[in-house]
């Protein structure tokens, strides 16, 4: 018996990075998975292959969460796939650090993050919650999981801090209020990753590479699998008494001074 046997799990933004690791880990823990993505079909197919290797056939749905009609279609397709969704993981987030979006103005990046990570996520979560509440209550509550950012509440210098700080603080604050709203029927938690080696981290310069390692007491970058492991606990029956929490997955914040900082 695996921890998520007979569970139906939706992971938004599971065509790459953290979402891909979470969907794969959920399948390896026994769950049936719905892979959501926006445009990276190849990435979504790679996630699907990993899930098939774990023994189940995933459902794939593309939707732009900035578009309310697209988001509603995702909800409809998900609940048609399974009237009971045991865990919905709100992982999708706009990438404004790599590719063409990295060249946008500060204002344009902030607007994109707002419409996807905050407004898109909140709109989706409200719709999902309404559908989850329609299902008959069960001894084990369904759950939702959000993705924040460890430095959002502490502050980080520069444009990245000024962009992701308010955006991810809003996500974490929303998760806390949603937990208050939906208890005891639905558990709501959040993971706040630190420096996780995804697309941006893979190409970071020596300064950011050293900084990411030094900021963690564990002296290494986090991996998408580190975040997925925390997510697996939070959506599992073992966490049935855990709600309204934000768990930092950052290797422990290093408060010791570091030589050679910029
Ligand atoms: N990496 C880190 O260090 C870190 C730290 C803290 C928090 N986070 C957060 O963790 C989450 C995952 O990050 P990641 O690094 O794994 O990012 P990623 O590899 O860029 O993946 C982002 C996912 O979100 C989807 N997405 C982007 N815009 C979307 C839209 N408008 N509608 C629907 N889906 C959309 C992407 O879909 P397509 O590619 O298919 O379009 C992709 O599947 C994000 O919320 C991010 O802010 C990351």
For the stretch 1-59, pLDDT in tens is 999 999 999 999 999 999 999 999 999 999 999 999 999 999 999 999 999 999 999 99
Q: How far apart are the CA of 199 and the centre of ligand 1, in A?
A: 10
Cβ of residue 15 lying under 6 Å from some atom of ligand 1 = yes
CATH of the domain at 83: 3.40.50.720
For 26, 146, 209, 233, the CA distances from 236, given in Å and listed in that order, are: 10, 15, 33, 5
Whole-structure pTM value: 0.97
Examine residue 151 and state whether it is found in any structural domain, yes or no: yes
Domain of 32?
8-249
Who's near 249: CB < 8 A, 6+ residues apart?
Answer: 150, 191, 192, 193, 194, 196, 222, 226, 227, 230
pLDDT of amino acid 256: 84
Question: What is the average per-residue pLDDT within 205-225?
Answer: 96
Give the pair of three-digit tokens for residue 180: 């208050």
Q: How far apart are the CA of 15 and the centre of ligand 1, in A?
A: 9
Total number of domains in the chain: 1
Mutate which of 10, 14, 40, 95 for ligand 1 pocket (most atoms within 8 A of beta carbon):
95
DSSP 216: B
Who's near 252: CB < 8 A, 6+ residues apart?
Answer: 216, 217, 218
pLDDT of amino acid 262: 53
Q: How far apart are the CA of 258 and the centre of ligand 1, in A?
A: 30
Question: What residue's CA is closest to ligand 1, atom 27?
Answer: 94
Give the pair of three-digit tokens for residue 119: 């407004």
**Confidence tier at 138 by pLDDT (50, 70, 90):** confident
Examine residue 176 and state whether it is found in any structural domain, yes or no: yes
Whether the predicted pLDDT of 260 surpasses 70: no
For residue range 104-120, list pLDDT tens digits in order: 999 999 999 999 999 99
Examine residue 258 and state whether it is found in any structural domain, yes or no: no
pLDDT of amino acid 121: 98
Q: How far apart are the CA of 182 and the centre of ligand 1, in A?
A: 25
Question: What residue's CA is closest to ligand 1, atom 36?
Answer: 13
Nearest ligand 1 atom to alpha carbon 222: 3
Whether the predicted pLDDT of 261 surpasses 80: no
Cβ of residue 18 lying under 6 Å from some atom of ligand 1 = yes
Question: What residue's CA is closest to ligand 1, atom 7?
Answer: 149
Examine residue 261 and state whether it is found in any structural domain, yes or no: no
For residue range 224-254, list pLDDT tens digits in order: 999 999 999 999 999 999 999 999 999 999 9
Examine residue 222 and state whether it is found in any structural domain, yes or no: yes
**Confidence tier at 200 by pLDDT (50, 70, 90):** confident
| Mean pLDDT taken over the chain | 96
Q: How far apart are the CA of 93 and the centre of ligand 1, in A?
A: 4
Examine residue 3 and state whether it is found in any structural domain, yes or no: no
Examine residue 181 and state whether it is found in any structural domain, yes or no: yes
């Amino acid at each position: 018996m695996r921890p998520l046997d007979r569970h139906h799990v939706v992971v938004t933004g599971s065509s790459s990075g953290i979402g891909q690791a979470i969907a794969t880990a959920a399948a390896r823990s026994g769950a049936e998975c719905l892979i959501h993505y926006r445009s990276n079909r190849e990435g979504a197919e790679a996630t699907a292959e990993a899930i098939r290797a774990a023994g189940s056939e995933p459902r794939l749905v593309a939707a732009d969460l900035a578009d309310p009609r697209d988001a509603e279609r995702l909800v409809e397709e998900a609940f048609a796939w399974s009237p009971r969704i045991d865990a919905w993981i709100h992982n999708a987030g706009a990438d404004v650090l790599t590719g063409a979006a990295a060249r946008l103005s500060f204002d344009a990046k902030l607007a994109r993050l707002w419409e996807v990570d905050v407004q898109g996520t909140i709109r989706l979560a409200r719709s999902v919650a309404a559908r989850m509440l329609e299902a008959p209550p069960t001894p084990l509550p369904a759950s939702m999981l959000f993705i924040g950012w460890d430095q959002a509440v502490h502050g980080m210098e520069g444009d990245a801090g000024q962009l992701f700080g308010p955006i991810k603080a809003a996500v974490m604050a929303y998760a806390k209020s949603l937990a208050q709203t939906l208890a005891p029927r639905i558990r709501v938690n959040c993971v706040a990753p630190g420096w996780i080696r995804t697309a941006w981290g893979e190409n970071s310069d020596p300064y950011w590479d050293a900084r990411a390692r030094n900021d963690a007491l564990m002296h290494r970058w986090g991996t998408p699998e580190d975040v997925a492991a925390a997510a697996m606990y939070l959506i599992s029956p073992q966490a049935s008494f855990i709600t309204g929490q934000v768990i930092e997955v950052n290797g422990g914040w290093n408060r010791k001074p570091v030589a050679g900082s910029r």
